[in-house]
Chains A and B, each alone.
Chain A
Amino acid sequence: MTATTSRVNPNVSAATARAAAKAANENQPVTFGKALNTALADGLVADNSVVIFGEDVGTLGGVFRITDGLTARFGADRCFDTPLAESGIVGMAVGMAINGMRPVIEMQFDAFAYPAFEQVASHVAKMRNRTQGKLSLPMVIRIPYAGGVGGVEHHCDSSEGYYAHTPGLKVFTPSCVEDAYLMLREAIDSDDPVVFFEPKKLYWSKEQVDLEQLAQEYEGKKSAKTEGRARIARAGSDATLITYGPSVSTALAAAKMAAEEGLNLEVIDVRSIVPFDDETVCASVRKTGRAIVIAEAQGFASVASEIVARVQERCFHSLAAPVLRVTGFDIPYPAPTLEKYHLPSAERILDAVDQLQWEA
């Protein structure tokens, strides 16, 4: 009889079992949600002043399970449930950050963060400035956002524009599993408040990523910084698709379809909306001469609008066509059966690509 696990064969050493488990894991793709969960756990290990709290983040592990197991592993002083009050959660985090902690708090859904907006806009964003740098607020506000998951009313807003418009806040949004881990670690270690937007449709997406190695690289400062650095998600030469968060996968799908028609599109993942990486974005547009900005949020007065303005201010003489936008319509987020008409699709992106004055 040959036993393969230490549970049935005590002769197999624990180390061998761990190595076997690791090897098995290496073949298992990691979900976006697990990467976030691991980043939180590693953040708690790395710094005793990190505390996690919010609604349902303790025993339940969060409605999306992003804080799963953290209370059991680290205790209720490090990860705990609060009363159901978003302004209270953010306001208490402000006080804890004033007094030496690094709170990482969860707003359960995008639109449920609005009750806390006064705390965010008047205090989180301004505390460093109003005290001439005497008080800093190292805290992370995690917000599951955007649609594409058939969510009911008030569960699918793309609210990044409100926060990006508010000086003093950093605004991050990852679009791949590796960034989910790295960007959350950076957000936790930032000395500035970070509003961390998690595209909820990506929570269950999987990629082959070795989180342990990523953690070692991050802690050894070997990984490149993500703050203020856009990422070239797909290299191309004919036009640039500038996007972030949930729309990156849509843009990549559009680029793949365009490639079949002989067009080579570059896809830029902004990932750090604030601070914004003008350099990477503009270098790409100067190279391709054409650009489309894609986002789920309504286009009017949006982050997409800001990117268009920045690009045309800096790249005017390199542009062969006006910079276009493919965004959500200027309507309240639709009911689940109608959301597909609202969200930017690969087809709608390709229609915009067709309008980039190729005949000229």
Chain B
Amino acid sequence: MSADASSARISEVSKKFGITPEDYMLPARHMINLLNPDGSLRPDNEQGTEPGHEYPLPSPARLMEAYAALVTGRRVNDQNSALVRQGRMAVYPSSHGQEACQIAAALCLDDNDWLFPTYRDTVAVLSKGVAPMEVMTSFRGEWHCGYDPKAYKCAPMSTPLTTQLLHAVGVAHAAKLRGENTVVVAMCGDGATSEGDFHEALNFAAVFNLPVIFFVQNNKYAISVPLSHQSAAPSLAHKAVGYGMAGERVDGNDLMALMAIMTRAVRMAREGNGPLLIEAHTYRMQAHTNADDDKRYREDSEVQAWIAKDPVTRMKAYLEDAGLLTEETVAKISEDAEAVAKTLRDGMNQDANTDPRELFEHVYSTKSTQLAEQQALLADELDREEA
């Protein structure tokens, strides 16, 4: 599709909402936020919504499903951090505090839709359905990716920043050329928006009118560098209009708002309205990884202030007030989360199962003579070690 056709599509959608194309593409004046930090539902006129930027509340069943995943996500983050402290795992970039974003990114998708995660998106990958120990393969240092991306429709967690957004664009493009209605969610952080591939991916997606949702978790830090050093834009969501796509800001610790916004985004993308940029405001509660010392670049008081905005307690308070959480459901949700944590503990306590001879197996579709020679050399070394 030509760029002209893309902008015609934007005009058509904005007309449907009764607003101008600019008002459709620009984020709403305020961040979309449905729940207060104490879990109370904000009044209609304080949710940040406006014409063309309206988001229906998710159903109670949908919220309960998301909340259960949220509790598991928090448990997984904390369990993995503990396993690092115990020396069972080399490194774990925790998404503690960002779990609502993780859950919404994965749960909004159908089975045939693709997710493109980063290294901090373990919880999203789990929520997409990948088996817990297969996700942890890379953090255990056994292999770079432990799951079959095609089976789960979930790309390998990307360590290089932002490169995966272009892969997401390609997956969507291939699907579109075949007439499939696949939607792709491409995840990145605030720091990644400074990379050149961010620009190229958004531009390609818009020019080819592809069903990609760029989901930016703005957790305020790129390791130590704060958002103010990454961008002078009014917001990261405002970058969308420069590409000819719509952008929106959402409270990234408000699971209800995230589910509402992502559900609509997926529907709109599937209907052929092109890509979207969603910026979720959240906060990285812990250091970049266990190897980082966040006291060198931020005040503890800043971190403490975000505890009150925690996504898990907020959602729990809402569901309790709404009478949706019974003693039984609470027990069941906690039990399920514990089961995943136990799977991780048990798995991590097993010794790594690696074979150095495999190093040469997946470089090419067929092994070259040279690699076969090098494999034989290593095998010989190993045989002598074992003898």
- Say whether B150 contacts A134, CB under 8 Å: yes
Give Cα A103 to B167, complex, Å: 13
Which of A16-24, A77-85, A251-259 touches B?
A77-85
**Cβ of A43 < 8 Å from any Cβ of B?**
no
Q: Binary interface profile of A, 71-100, with partner B (CB < 8 Å = 1, else 0)? A: 000000100001101011011111111111
Among residues of A, the one whose C-beta sits closest to the C-beta of B153 is A99
- Please state if B170 and A129 are interface contacts (CB–CB under 8 Å): no
Distance in angstroms from B369 CB to nearest chain A CB is 7
Chain A 96-135: CB-based contact to B (< 8 A → 1; otherwise 0): 1111110100000000000100110011001111111111
Q: Contact at A88–B201, with CB atoms within 8 Å?
A: yes
Closest to B184 in A: A95
Of the A-B pairs whose beta carbons lie under 8 Å apart in the complex, a sample of 26, sorted by A's number, is A83-B203, A85-B203, A87-B196, A88-B169, A91-B169, A91-B170, A91-B197, A92-B167, A95-B166, A95-B170, A96-B173, A99-B114, A115-B196, A118-B163, A119-B163, A122-B160, A122-B163, A128-B363, A128-B365, A133-B361, A133-B362, A134-B145, A134-B148, A134-B150, A167-B363, A275-B368
State whether A99 and B197 are in contact (beta carbons under 8 Å apart), knowing that A119-B163, A132-B143, A167-B363 are contacts in the complex.
no
- In the bound complex, do residue A92 and residue B166 qualify as a contact, i.e. CB atoms below 8 Å apart? yes
Q: Select A87's contact among B148, B173, B200, B362, beta carbons within 8 Å.
A: B200
Bound complex: CA of A111 vs CA of B148, how far in Å? 35
- Inter-chain contact B145/A100, CB cutoff 8 Å: no
Cα A49 to Cα B296 with chains together (Å): 52
A136 within 8 A of B: yes
Residues on A with beta carbons closer than 8 Å to the beta carbon of B207: 82-83
Question: How far, in whole Å, are A75 and B201 apart by their CA atoms in the complex?
Answer: 24
Number of residue pairs across A and B with beta carbons under 8 Å? 142
Q: In the complex, are the beta carbons of A94 and B201 less than 8 A apart?
A: no
Give chain A's interface residue range (CB within 8 Å of chain B): 35 or more
- Interface presence of B174 (CB below 8 A): yes
A residues less than 8 Å from B144 (CB atoms)? 126, 129-131
Contacts of A96 in B (CB 8 A): 170-171, 173-174
Interface string of B141-162 (1 = CB under 8 A from A): 0011111111100011000100
**Interface membership of chain B positions 126-143, coded 1 if the CB is closer than 8 angstroms to chain A and 0 otherwise:** 000000000000000001
Q: Interface of chain B, helix or strand or loop or mixed? A: helix
Chain A residues near B (Cβ < 8 Å): 51, 77, 82-83, 85, 87-88, 90-101, 103, 115, 118-119, 122-123, 126-136, 167-168, 170, 190-192, 228, 274-276, 278-279
Is B370 part of the binding interface, using a Cβ–Cβ cutoff of 8 Å? Answer: yes
CB pair A131–B145 under 8 Å, yes or no, is yes
Contact A276 B370 (CB under 8 A): yes
Say how far B83's CB is from chain A's closest CB, in angstroms: 23
Q: Does B119 contact A (CB under 8 A)?
A: no
- Chain B residues with Cβ under 8 A from A131's Cβ? 144-145, 148-149, 156, 362
Q: Which residues of B contact A228 (CB under 8 A)?
A: 368-369
How many Å from the CB of A180 to the closest CB on chain B?
Answer: 23
Instruction: Knowing A130-B145, A135-B149, A275-B370, say if A95 contacts B163 (CB, 8 Å).
Output: no
